[in-house]
Structure 1
């Protein structure tokens, strides 16, 4: 093994004699564990800063140490231009044709020159194609392009995921994460927001904070909705609507929604979700060199992405066990603007956190810039290693000296200001001063030859060429996972009616929840757990209108005075029905609605009218008119037995309830009639006995002569007896009539001869009269109409069936 490949050391170059202007023979081998205290690389254009940093990343790769490299200029893509065979054909696609034209040679000849230059350059530094081969074999290299499909797409907008438990348990770390995410998102909107005074920042921070503390992750659509209708009613001690009125929250949410809906922003929603562990290691645990190119982004987009990425790195870092060894590298080229001395852009806070805390977790941060005056050197006092190249102005040198002094004081090392100033003034191209607080003193060295071909900043088309095979492989893998047999086959929905199955296919244009004003109340109909999805069906919410109220039915002449609750549901699919409540379901019971949708559910398109808050007030009045015209209190009356049903009692229920009461009443009447018949019979028997005695007396009187007064009395008895006979006959007739009624009613309780013959139901012989009472219009009460989302199962073919 050569000395340059010593374990635990990075081969960065050779010692350099400033006085003689000559390169020495002693390799500069940098201890890898020294990088856990971080490094800063400063040098003007042409100083060789990019070559040094690329060499450092190459050495880390050779040592099996993964790295995430943030590339604002496009230079770091050169790390994929490593050609172990050093053939001209390898270099030809990457040489500049304009250079060949200026030199008056062909592109092939220029490629030949580049191959020879690289071969001889590597040889002078004891390197060769075999070392390049080990570099390419050891790490997986990839270029990511967030917000673009040139490289591997990478999105941070699919989910503002809740941080790991280690961060949730650390109040300071969680607060930093919340502040960074809020600041980054607002920067993306072009809003310069102070965390203390900006109401947008405060609201956004509170929404994110509450969701994350509850363990909930939010995608951008979910975040927009929680901004409209936050899960809290107060901000500090101030009422939410006083602090940030609903109208202003709608405008704020619409700005985010416009960003989400912008065609130019669509690429931000594509690609892999940001996963630091995945950027550092493959699934097979092979170390990775993940280059994240942000050269194509605007300043606001860069700030947003870098802020989110740094926060994700912090979250990953806190989930790792502590170590004194170098576990991974986070490199950022051209850090200008992200770590200024006075301002506090969103990325600065997480970067400071990393510089202060990453050492304990074995994460080394390397920051590079050609603008020394734009760095916060007080913050960089945490950096233990400084690589200083040629500087342009005295002001740059003064700021670098200031930073070196701070770093040395922080580490307790001595610092010779005059010697350092003299050394900096003498530096040439590719010559650097390394000030390492872990070493005995500063060292001057010349950077080694890079293993990778330094073609300069790569264009998006060049990045696309480099990543074409990788993207094709990813697409083939995705296609394989979706091939026939890899998922459940689609089939006809079960349990749906033909009408439901033939509905128009569900729109695929609106799958996320629409953004609405917080003044539009939204609720969610509970899912019927008994209705299971068939293969390929997806839960989708369709809109509807829902309201509850009370109706007053009164009719003094019939003694009716009833209040009744109701709930009205009007499903909406496509255009709004006209009139609005024409096909509404009016129910007697109020359903318990939910405040949140089912996770991962999609949403159908919302008619434009339903997005306007003032329309809901109009629909209140429309509902009053609808229930006045359509609702009636129905009563049933049995004239034969002088009985009336209870409110909302059905005819059958009334009959069932009425029959035992009527039977009992007729039984009492039969008993009374029987008593009356018995009583008239005994009276009749009494009079008949008296009449017989008197009749005998009259006969005796006639035989023996004379006229008796008793004869007159007897005539009167016969007259009374005749009357009692008539009464008795009437009583017996009345008893027979009541007995017939009782027999008929008793038969009504018996089952029909043929149970399948509905017309044979004897109970229907109780004739009922229907009474309908309209509600009093002036007493109708309707609570505010709300937007209700109704769950449906939607198949791949667009067939739909209710899930409620």
Structure 2
């Protein structure tokens, strides 16, 4: 029976508290978002992990924001349930407190976990399927897990965002607010000079599709690329001296000892973090328990904004395509304040559904969540609550005609792992208890725990080659070069006595044109090629893509300069450098598109392979879900007919033998009813009661012929339900095979520039220190 709900877009969450039938929830219902509410010890973390495990098994990627450190447990899945798998995660003091050795407790834990999983109709094969899903713990601002390059670049959003005026403004506002929070400034977007200045800088570059690094931002704060803010001259609105003070605050962040951990590691590329190159879903866990409050707010806001930018590039979908889970929303989405994270979170709750993205939030205190956000949430999981305020916040949505005092009392007395489930797509409110998680729950992850888990996953950060300094370390007079060679000076360290070092700087444009695909796109490149003593060849592959922020044609007379290689000092011009650069761009630059001919789909300009595969996967999921909807209609009438027949037979059996309880329906029928009920909706509580009554009476041998006849009919109905299930399974098997992504080949299509479409706009000798 497990094979059915695994294939029908259903999440297995646990068992009904009344009759132990399976609690199943359609995954597509989570596109209207969900919230898990419950006090400490209610089982919120376990339910959250259940949801994430179900998504991963169904090839739905999940981005997890983990402020407390609990969600790293998602990485502890042991398919073979060996004691030695559990042993490294058993705390010695815990074992001693139980009067056991670590080995004994590991053996006991492994046995308990295996039995717990199997008690909920799960097997080790299911654990294996989940364990095979790629999981990464990212630790921004720390090297404990996989580092993330957060401040290396404030990536420009795509055209989809820029063209949406309100969204673009929202993205800039929250980004700037989060950046200013790094230096302790709580800025108002309308009245704060700091906010307005940096907002205008972001608008200037992002509207052109240009990303910004923190170094570039600091440079543009002191030297903005515009003369006015609004109608006021820049020097009146924000004098140079004040701008320099603001730049210095950011420079202090840049120069701090711990800053290197914010600019090293993997780029914050949401698509690559959620999908591998084969389109397989991944779980990306962002552990932020080690950060300060300001750093957490900065990172969460930046991450949400980056997630929105990725989301807006996705194709619309009615099925669940990806999930964002936040383990504790307190402080990030309050009702009365406006922290930087609030605006992007509200935007996600309003817009994500259209893209097949589900947001799941968890909290101990529902009163600390903005009511506008709660109004956009369709599924509520409510566990035990104790404070009057918290209970009053949720009681209205759960009462469903019942006495509110009685409902409030039930909420206050719920057992651990028990939750009320209210889904706007269903008519009833039901109590269930969560299934046993597939992951081992050891408790909060320490930095050492994360370091052990991620040891093999950490990517080696490529170090930038050191500048090859000349033997004259103190520098000397400026070398004389041909008048035909343009020179720029970029003094990034004004108070330093270091010499200027030489580079060739070039700005080039490459046009990509393809009439058939309607592509006419020009890309701009900025390169710095290091010059060193003894250099005798020109190789632009050694250049770095970098745009200097403060180019000047002047320098101080007291400045010192490193030596130039003869290849430049003796040159009459930089024509050879220019020619080599054009050749390099012509041979190496191309636009790569991706195509799936079977679906007649082709990627958009700038769309990554991971994003395109995700789009293909979304189309396949939508097609699969559409065909499953047809199957639902096909089987619904049959299912209801069997329900009615079963109820009539139950009544008849009770009349014929009222003193004998019915126990004919076995576990298979319970599970089958749970699955079909989840698909077609619960008809009435009488069905559940009928199934429960039959379960109690089916094995008692009846002597009377009329009772035997009814029992025989009941057996026939059971057989019909079983056959219905097998037919359904067979049809779904065909659909699964039909829409398996492995049957849909992704091809690469390259568009190269013409030689005439490669131009070097500017090339100069750059002196930089």
- The answer to whether the Cα contact below 8 Å between 2:134 and 2:283 also exists between their aligned partners in 1 is yes
Question: 1:134 maps to what in 2?
Answer: 129
Correspondent of 1:791 among 753, 762, 765: 765
Shift of 1:378: 2.8
TM alignment of 1:171-182, pairs within 5 A: 171-182=165-176
Correspondent of 2:262 among 258, 264, 268: 268
User: Equivalents in 2 of 1:512, 1:279: separation in Å?
Assistant: 36
Correspondent of 1:303 among 297, 300, 303: 297
User: Equivalents in 2 of 1:275, 1:505: separation in Å?
Assistant: 42
User: Equivalents in 2 of 1:529, 1:212: separation in Å?
Assistant: 19
Return the structure number with greater relative CO, CA threshold 8 A, min gap 6: 2
- The answer to whether the Cα contact below 8 Å between 2:78 and 2:127 also exists between their aligned partners in 1 is yes
Secondary structure in 1 aligned to 2:316? coil
TM alignment of 1:140-289, pairs within 5 A: 140-289=134-283
TM alignment of 1:90-101, pairs within 5 A: 90-101=85-96
Provide the aligned C-alpha RMSD in A. 3.5
Question: Compared with structure 1, are the counterparts of its residues 462 and 320 closer, same or farther at alpha carbon in structure 2 (3 Å cutoff)?
Answer: same
- 2:15 is the alignment partner of 1:14: yes
Q: Higher mean Cα deviation, 99-108 or 320-329?
A: 99-108
Question: Compared with structure 1, are the counterparts of its residues 235 and 431 closer, same or farther at alpha carbon in structure 2 (3 Å cutoff)?
Answer: same
- 2:75 is the alignment partner of 1:80: yes
Gapped regions of structure 2 (runs ≥ 5): 476-488, 509-528, 530-536, 563-762
Shift of 1:572: 2.7
Question: 2:574 maps to what in 1?
Answer: none
Shift of 1:425: 2.9
- 2:34 is the alignment partner of 1:60: no
Question: Compared with structure 1, are the counterparts of its residues 513 and 184 closer, same or farther at alpha carbon in structure 2 (3 Å cutoff)?
Answer: farther
Question: 1:662 maps to what in 2?
Answer: none
Shift of 1:392: 2.5
Correspondent of 1:440 among 427, 444, 452: 427
Gapped regions of structure 1 (runs ≥ 5): 18-23, 494-499, 548-567, 576-788, 795-799
Shift of 1:54: 0.3
User: Equivalents in 2 of 1:275, 1:143: separation in Å?
Assistant: 14
1:163-195: CA deviation from partner (whole Å, max 9, x where unpaired): 101111110111011011101111111111111
Correspondent of 1:322 among 297, 316, 322: 316
- 2:455 is the alignment partner of 1:454: no
- 2:410 is the alignment partner of 1:423: yes
Shift of 1:420: 4.0
- 2:360 is the alignment partner of 1:382: no
Secondary structure in 1 aligned to 2:86? helix
User: Equivalents in 1 of 2:206, 2:540: separation in Å?
Assistant: 33
- The answer to whether the Cα contact below 8 Å between 2:11 and 2:24 also exists between their aligned partners in 1 is yes
User: Equivalents in 1 of 2:436, 2:494: separation in Å?
Assistant: 59
User: Equivalents in 2 of 1:415, 1:320: separation in Å?
Assistant: 42
Shift of 1:93: 0.5
| TM-score between both structures, scaled by the size of structure 2 | 0.63
Question: 1:341 maps to what in 2?
Answer: 335
- The answer to whether the Cα contact below 8 Å between 1:193 and 1:200 also exists between their aligned partners in 2 is yes
TM alignment of 1:553-572, pairs within 5 A: 570=557, 572=559
Question: 1:105 maps to what in 2?
Answer: 100
**Larger Cα-atom Rg:** 1
Secondary structure in 2 aligned to 1:434? strand
- The answer to whether the Cα contact below 8 Å between 1:7 and 1:63 also exists between their aligned partners in 2 is no
Secondary structure in 1 aligned to 2:156? coil
1:413-447: CA deviation from partner (whole Å, max 9, x where unpaired): 98975564343233111000011010111111000
Secondary structure in 1 aligned to 2:17? strand
- The answer to whether the Cα contact below 8 Å between 1:154 and 1:274 also exists between their aligned partners in 2 is yes
- The answer to whether the Cα contact below 8 Å between 2:90 and 2:106 also exists between their aligned partners in 1 is yes
- 2:501 is the alignment partner of 1:514: no
Question: Compared with structure 1, are the counterparts of its residues 513 and 418 closer, same or farther at alpha carbon in structure 2 (3 Å cutoff)?
Answer: farther
User: Equivalents in 2 of 1:47, 1:188: separation in Å?
Assistant: 34
User: Equivalents in 2 of 1:316, 1:72: separation in Å?
Assistant: 22
Question: 1:40 maps to what in 2?
Answer: 35
User: Equivalents in 1 of 2:85, 2:7: separation in Å?
Assistant: 29
- The answer to whether the Cα contact below 8 Å between 2:490 and 2:552 also exists between their aligned partners in 1 is no
Question: Compared with structure 1, are the counterparts of its residues 505 and 542 closer, same or farther at alpha carbon in structure 2 (3 Å cutoff)?
Answer: farther
Question: Compared with structure 1, are the counterparts of its residues 527 and 38 closer, same or farther at alpha carbon in structure 2 (3 Å cutoff)?
Answer: closer
Question: Compared with structure 1, are the counterparts of its residues 324 and 415 closer, same or farther at alpha carbon in structure 2 (3 Å cutoff)?
Answer: farther
